[in-house]
Amino acid sequence: MRRAAVGDAAELACPDGNSTDLWHHYGRTRAEEDRVVPRTFRWVWSQDGGPGAEVLGDLTGKVVGDLGAGAARHAAHLVTRHAPARVDAVDSSPAQCAMANDLFGHLTPRLRIVRSDVVKHVQAAPGAYDVLYSVFGAVDFTDPYELLPAVASALRPGGRLLFSTLAHYLGGAPAELDVVPADIPARTSDGEVTTMRRWVLQEHVWRELLDASGFAQVGVDVLPSATRAPRSADTLFVTAVRQ
């Protein structure tokens, strides 16, 4: 049974291939004003502190995937500063992929912008990746029963999954004790009000899901918010290794 999460984000969504593009409005203002490759890579919700790309390990020559990459800012940072063989920025949103191509298309072929449902993409790429990550991306907006086993299959043995997600709802309500999503407000490209699903789960729930999906060495850290503004949030930072 789902419950509504009062006060959660209205901008973000990760639709499946048959859905309206709920990412259409997200990031447009920033894209008009900020077209440079970010100098930093941040995992925390506020994007103003915490660990950076170093926790991904040495990416030299590695094949990396950003799951729910949006405008591909994190992926562009990795391509320009960490010498991977390739980073695939995967997102199902036509608007976000178009924005990513406009901003960072010049970084191809080392940056590959992939418009695809994330689950379908990783299911079609067994053993293709050394590292997969999500920064408040597809892990937040995709059924983990579908996503996590597919991610495990797309990683080479010993490959790593890293993701950041909300440690609690933005309105302050605690994360879920079971694998249930919340229906939260969203907007279609023409401004119509609708809802989307977001998974905000407690630490032990993520651990159990990852264990069941073929991962080991699961680590979970809470990265506190640097501010106590009304829509601030602590970050749950999760790492795991494919068995």
CB 150 within 8 A of CB 214: no
Element (H, E) at 25: none
- Residues, the chain, total? 243
Residue with tokens 């609690």: 168
pTM reported for the whole predicted model? 0.89
Element (H, E) at 205: helix 203-212
CB 114 within 8 A of CB 87: no
pLDDT single digits (tens) 145-187 = 999 999 999 999 999 999 999 999 998 999 999 999 999 888 8
Q: Among the CATH numbers 1.10.10.10, 3.40.50.150, 3.40.50.920, 3.40.50.620, which is that of 3-45+57-242?
A: 3.40.50.150
Question: Where do the structural domains in the chain lie, given as residue ranges?
Answer: 3-45+57-242
pLDDT single digits (tens) 29-84 = 777 776 789 999 999 998 888 899 999 999 999 999 999 999 999 999 999 999 99
Give the lowest-confidence range in 94-103, 118-127, 182-191, 200-209: 182-191
The pLDDT value recorded for residue 147 is 98
